[in-house]
């Protein structure tokens, strides 16, 4: 049935599907995983990095990008599509500053990005953006962390913690079980790393973490810092495994 309706973006199938939009969501699911976690006075973005080729400069492969001084974005899906969307968002941020003489709020720029994504689901001769985004930041003169998600259909929503990309369902289930309100900074970072380790098998070298605090300063964590957190998580897992073994051993004796 899909065959006759999946070529044209603007035509609904009889059962109400827009197949090109669904295929764009499939492209997102094939992208590397990205995680966002909102803490008490910080917000954390974590992404799964693809292994860089030996002769490639790793600085040119970015999955976490700044939209403005106080807003940061991670994405899953087609990197080239993301670059176009990032440029449009950055122009809007600067245009807003010039026009209103105030920085944008996180919801404003999220709504702008979602509107662009939606526009590309309703016009002939174009295709949807093959990316979902996680947008973090702090509104001007506020200390409340914000986390939003958009997808190729143009839907946007606010979250306490969320995951997009490869195996995002598994990561989201892990976050639902382990997320607590008002996490301190260290715990929020640890939760983001833990959730990524659910899908990243190669450890810290393929994980990138960015933390924004209430003064709107973003910090990209060094690989050594991420490795230290991964080591601590693995040590805790080993200790928990030992504790589980002990009762069963004593009962047998």
pLDDT at residue number 247: 63
pLDDT tens readout for residues 183-194: 999 999 999 999
Dihedrals φ, ψ of 86, to 5°? -60, -45
pLDDT at residue number 2: 56
pLDDT tens readout for residues 12-25: 888 888 889 999 99
pLDDT tens readout for residues 66-123: 999 999 999 999 999 999 999 999 999 999 999 999 999 999 999 999 999 999 998 8
pLDDT tens readout for residues 72-88: 999 999 999 999 999 99
pLDDT band at 52 (very low <50, low <70, confident <90, very high): confident
pLDDT band at 250 (very low <50, low <70, confident <90, very high): very low
d(CA 45, CA 109): 17
pLDDT band at 124 (very low <50, low <70, confident <90, very high): confident
pTM: 0.90
Dihedrals φ, ψ of 162, to 5°? -155, 165
């Amino acid at each position: 049935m899909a065959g006759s309706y999946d070529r044209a973006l603007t035509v609904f199938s009889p059962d109400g599907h827009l197949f090109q939009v669904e295929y764009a969501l499939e492209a997102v699911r094939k992208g590397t995983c990205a995680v966002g976690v909102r803490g008490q006075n910080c917000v954390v973005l974590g992404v799964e990095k693809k292994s860089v080729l030996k002769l490639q400069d790793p600085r040119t492969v970015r999955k976490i990008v700044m939209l403005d001084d106080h807003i940061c974005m991670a994405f899953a899906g087609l990197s080239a599509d993301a670059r176009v969307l990032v440029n449009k968002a950055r122009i809007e941020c600067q245009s807003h500053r010039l026009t209103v003489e105030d920085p944008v709020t996180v919801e404003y720029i999220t709504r702008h990005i979602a509107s662009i994504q939606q526009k590309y689901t309703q016009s002939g001769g174009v295709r949807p953006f093959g990316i979902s985004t996680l947008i973090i930041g702090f509104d001007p003169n506020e200390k409340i962390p914000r986390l939003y998600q958009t997808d190729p259909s143009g839907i946007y929503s606010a979250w306490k913690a969320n995951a997009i990309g490869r195996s995002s369902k598994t990561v989201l289930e892990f976050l639902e079980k382990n997320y607590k309100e008002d996490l301190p900074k260290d715990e929020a970072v640890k939760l983001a790393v833990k959730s990524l380790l659910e899908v990243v098998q190669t450890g810290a070298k393929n994980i990138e973490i960015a933390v924004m605090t209430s003064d709107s300063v973003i910090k990209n964590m060094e690989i050594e810092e991420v490795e230290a957190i991964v080591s601590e998580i693995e040590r805790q897992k080993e200790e928990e495994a030992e504790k589980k073994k002990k009762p069963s051993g004593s009962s047998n004796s």
